[in-house]
Structures are given as structure tokens and as C-alpha cells.
Structure 1
């Protein structure tokens, strides 16, 4: 079965919609006629994006300024979505840290797990029963190539994305034949535009330009893959290489090599 067609009573939900892949997903969905619920902490940015999409695409756009690393904020959103007609859920919101866990802020590491894991799980549980009952719906999980292997100096992020990767593909097996599409996006480096020398982060400086993918292109590829009910979309050379390395290279070999690279990212923060 195909994804649900745009419907004025239905909503596509995009978390982390205030920047990057999330904002691009919102734009592509609106361009394709879907009305939206945009979720992120930065409500002012969402309000501006919503106004632009309403005018340009003639769709309905709702804004929910919510911190999904706060369990209460996630609960309120889940309660609402469980009672709404949700056609597509894009579980995109996430954060990352670099450096040895022992030297990082424990509260921020906990918040990373709450956002990258708990919120993804809770939001999925909120909308999945209605999708199964209607035998129609789509869930796009934004995992990561980093979730395919142990990564010292990126331990919490890699572990949370391992959960998303595995949960996505396991869930896909459960709903096979029930009209619900589940696709995992496992991207490598993604950005909206090439930064100036003054704006470039340590990641921008260390990763060559040809390895980056544009957020717009990643969003289009991801939604096309979700429409086809493809299991996994892995855009970009670096993400494909990490997926292969994580699947076929002994972890005792790959972990120290990748960990050294990520340690340099932590030094640049």
C-alpha cells in the first residue's frame, strides 16, 4: 500500500523541525501537499517556518514548541497525537556529544538519551495503533550510520542511534503487511549550506566537502524511500562506508580508529 494521500484532517508530524533535516522534511512534505505539526524547542523559528509554508504551499501548519528531552513535554505531545489523525511521523529530533563520557556533563548525557531514545519510542507508541487500525501510515526514523558500531568519544550518541536503528527495523517486521511503512534514515554528515571560514565548526573543517549531503536532498530521498516502504536509506559516501565497516569489520579494529577521529571532534568543541 502507498502512503496516505494528503488530507486536510490528517497531519504529518516532524520533530526537530527548526533546522537541518527536520526543517527540510517539513518543507518537502508541505510541497507535496501534507498539512503539518512542527515540533521543536525553538518556537519562534517554527512560527516563521509555519507562516512561510502556509503561504507557499497552502497547507495547514501547527506549531508545538516542546522540549522532548523533558518527559512531561513528551507526554503532553504524545497524549495529543494519540487523539489526532497522524498520517506520517518523522522522528528526527536528536542531539550529539563528543568526548569521553567521564568528562561530559552528566545532565546533558541523560537529556540526550531522553531525546534520542525515549521520545522516539514514546511518540511511535502514541501514533502506531491508529496507523495499524487504519492500515495506513508512515514512520520515518532518523537513526545514524554511527549506530552501526561502537564509537569511543561519541558513546552516548552512538548507543542511542543503535537503539533507533534496531527499533526501526524490528518494528518494520512487526507491521509488515498491515499498511504501515517504516523506513530508517541513517545519514552521515548533512548540512543546509557550506559555511564560511568564520562559521565553520570542527566537523566542517575535518570532513571534506564532497562527503557532505544537503539536507534538502536527504529529505527528498528519505520521503521517497518511505513512500516505497524501503527498509533503510543511507545517503552519502561516508555513511555507506560506516555502515559497511560497522557490519563487516571486527569491532576491536574499527572502534579505536573511529574513536580517534571522534576524540578530535570533542577537542574542537
Structure 2
């Protein structure tokens, strides 16, 4: 089957139901369709809104796409995956771009950047760039839901932010008493509406952060016997979460 690429368009830009089906593209989108995809007038592309809907559209002259069906009649729909999966990621010096891209491709639903006690001053914080990376990853991976990227928070202000019925897991190292993430998911995650996994920075969480998290209802888990880079740990942890969700559906 021939590949047909996708374009993520914010729902606010799509034509309302019952009206004309054309909408304008910005310069970056025009370049992407014409230069990268080499789409010619009359060519077809899939349009997704990042909220579970897909339409097909035709490129028409100039900078416009035309939906082939009414806004109220998408060609594909997908319910929000449950439980929702969240990654609370401490800012690190390098690797955040890869974390955003890879965890989005895997299926994470929420990303919360954290300023941790041991986040270095050179740690990356580029939310505009990460938004672009997430959009490109949604298009590439053929997801219908766009992950939610939250504003940066200080770790101490974050531990009490998730809902009390969310399952809140913090990845720790060198603690033989903590269960492995996958074992804990198999035992206790079935009824949680949302599962959060918190990954620390280079050098790990401070003792104060771990103590505060545990006192706030977070549960310590490990990701294995070896010490992983923060970016590796984030991808490994989200991979385990998404695999568990798929197999338990």
C-alpha cells in the first residue's frame, strides 16, 4: 500500500461543520507538503487534529487544503487511550529532544518538564522546539492524539499536583526494596485513570526530593539493575508503560 503522510492541524484552524471545507496553510506547512512530500495540486494527504480525528484532504492551488468530507464526518476516530500515561522528566543537559520524540512515538500522553534539585544550569529547556518535535513525531508515528506538554515546574511544587487517584511512580536507583516498574504495573495499575512516571536528572533525585515525593503518595520503582542515563531511563520507562497498556487493553 502506498504511503500517505499526515499533517497535524490544530482543531481551531479547521473549517466548521456545514461550511466550506477549505482552510489555509502556513508557510512552513506549504513547504513541507510541496518540498518534502512533493505533493502536487490535487494530491491527497491525511489531516489529524491531535484530538482523535482524521480526515483526508486535497491540496488545491495556492496555500489551501480542502477536506474531502464535512468536518463532522471524519474518516477515522480514536478514543483517548486509557489509562493516560504521563512522563514527569527532570531537565537534563542533553537528550531532551530525543526524549520528546521517542516517548511521543511510543505513545506517551502527557509530558511535564521538571526543574529538579540536581538539574544543571545548562539543562535544556526549549518548549517551542519540543512542541515542533512532538508535532513531527505525531505525524510520523501516525498517532491521532497529540501529547500534552506542560509548562516547567519546580519538582517540589509538582509532587502534589497530580490527582490523588492517579498512580504516581518515581524511578529510583540503588534501592533494593523498590519493585521493578513492570512488576508493579502488573500488580497494581489496572484501575488507575492516569499513570505518571517521574525520571530524575543526571546525578539522580536528591534525598529531599525522594522523601517529599514518597510523603506525597508517590511510589518508588526501579527500571533494572543497571544505572541508566536520564534520557535512556525515560524512554525505557515509557516503553514499559505503553507496552503494558497495549497488552492489558
TM-score by length of 1: 0.34
Q: State which structure, 1 or 2, has the greater radius of gyration over its C-alpha atoms.
A: 2
Structure with the bigger percentage of strand: 2
